[in-house]
Copies of this chain bind each other. A is one copy, B any other.
Amino acid sequence: MLNVSVLGYGTVGSGVVEVLTTNRESIAKKAGQEINVKYILDLRDFPGDPHEDKVVHDFNTIVNDADVQIVVETMGGVKPAYDFVKACLEAGKSVCTSNKELVAKHGAELLAIAKEKSINFFFEASVGGGIPVIRPMVQCLNGDVIEEISGILNGTTNYILSKMTTEGSDFDSVLKDAQDKGYAERNPEADVEGYDACRKIAILTSLAYGKQVDYEDIYTEGITKITDVDIKYAKALGAAIKIFGSSKKVGEHIYAKVAPVMINNAHPLYSVNDVFNGIFVKGNMVGDVMFYGSGAGKLPTASAVVADVVEAAKNLHTNIPVIWDSEKLILTDIKDASQRFFVRLSGSAAENADKVARIFGKVQVVDAGVTEEYAFITDEVKECEFTSKAEELGNVVSRIRVDF
């Protein structure tokens, strides 16, 4: 029998205990032994909970117990999660976490400690919730050089954009609806401003290139400026607006960003709607692959954590190496990246067409029946060039990057 302890008995933590309980038998078979939850660390008590007798309030009870071989961290945030996880690893306990912020910030260091101690630090659940994506990328695409990762990495914003599309509603009313349904937090900033997706693309990019990507370096643009009128244009184009966390390798340059993007139905992520997540990866040999599923939620996320626990149990004294050095990966400023832009200008076609032709040359005009506007898609242009040309136009209502 193998003892696990869970740090944080919130949504994911209680999900982990539920998965371990519900699938106890099949998990024991796959792990090679019974997996027992010995302690649950939380500040609160849980009277009436079937596991209330396992709840402890002192982290030292867990870290000092030599019978605890695996620790699950589902507290979220960096403090005190970082100190706890580090202490557990240093005490020779493997750690499985769903904590994207911790992994994005301290992944390299924690992996190095795990390696030194011949144990494991696993974090499959930190990106894409229940979707297998980290292990497939690290183990199954090892023959490839990763050229692009584009992910719908945040269920809340995908739900909002999907609802705006199907119902034609505006951002604020859909956000309110999402909050009422519990899909969005009362303080929605981490989701709608793209910060959550930013941590996740930082993790994926670090793993793809084996070096530390600091998420502060990633250009991040949320969805708060996307309006129902933008969506109307997207529909006229047969396109969808999604928010992607993405990174691209162009020669020796690596670009990373979080931003809304228009995609058409040729893109594998086009039909990833509602709270689902999807991660598209392009390898120089395998071509396009895509992983799809529930990117959040109690049981899907817990399922990924428990799969890590089973892997940790199967490799109790064997470190499975993951290349993620603490050496910083220098991202190239996206001002040098090129793509097409969708642009809306105030004023009629007559007022704008000549000016646009002069500044951008030939463009693809987009007609969605919106009066007193002129909309178009540019050819591929560098971000910095686009920015100065948009300034020259002077009357840009909105602009969205285009990926087709």
- List chain A positions with a Cβ less than 8 A from chain B: 19-20, 22-23, 26-27, 29-32, 124, 130-132, 135-137, 139-145, 210, 265, 268, 270-271, 283-294, 297, 299-300, 302-307, 309-311, 314, 318, 321, 323
Contacts and interface: CB of A to CB of B under 8 A. Distances in A.
27 contacts: A19-B143, A22-B284, A26-B145, A29-B210, A30-B142, A31-B142, A131-B289, A132-B291, A135-B136, A139-B139, A139-B307, A140-B307, A141-B303, A142-B307, A143-B304, A143-B309, A144-B303, A285-B306, A286-B299, A286-B303, A287-B297, A288-B292, A288-B294, A289-B291, A290-B291, A290-B293, A291-B292
A293 B302 contact: no
A144 to B, nearest CB: 6
A255 to B, nearest CB: 19
- Which are the 10 A-B pairs with shortest beta-carbon distances? A143-B306, A132-B140, A289-B293, A132-B136, A286-B303, A130-B286, A142-B310, A290-B292, A285-B303, A142-B307
A134 B28 CA distance: 20
Nearest to A301: B286
B130 A289 contact: yes
A238 to B, nearest CB: 13
A302 B285 contact: yes
B302 A143 contact: yes
Contacts of A299: 285-287
Given A268-B271, A288-B293, A289-B293, 16 more contacts: A19-B285, A22-B285, A23-B145, A124-B140, A130-B289, A132-B291, A139-B139, A142-B306, A143-B306, A144-B307, A271-B271, A286-B293, A287-B294, A287-B300, A289-B294, A290-B291
Given A143-B303, A265-B271, A284 B23 contact: yes
Contacts of A287: 130, 293-294, 297, 299-300
Nearest to A128: B289
Nearest to A306: B143
B135 A140 contact: yes
Contacts of A23: 143-145, 284-285
A163 to B, nearest CB: 16
A136 B271 CA distance: 22
Given A130-B286, A265-B271, A289-B291, A140 B136 contact: yes
Contacts of A32: 321
A323 to B, nearest CB: 6
Contacts of A288: 292-294
Given A29-B210, A271-B271, A290-B293, A141 B307 contact: yes
A20 B131 CA distance: 29
A272 to B, nearest CB: 9
A142 B292 contact: no
A101 B311 CA distance: 28
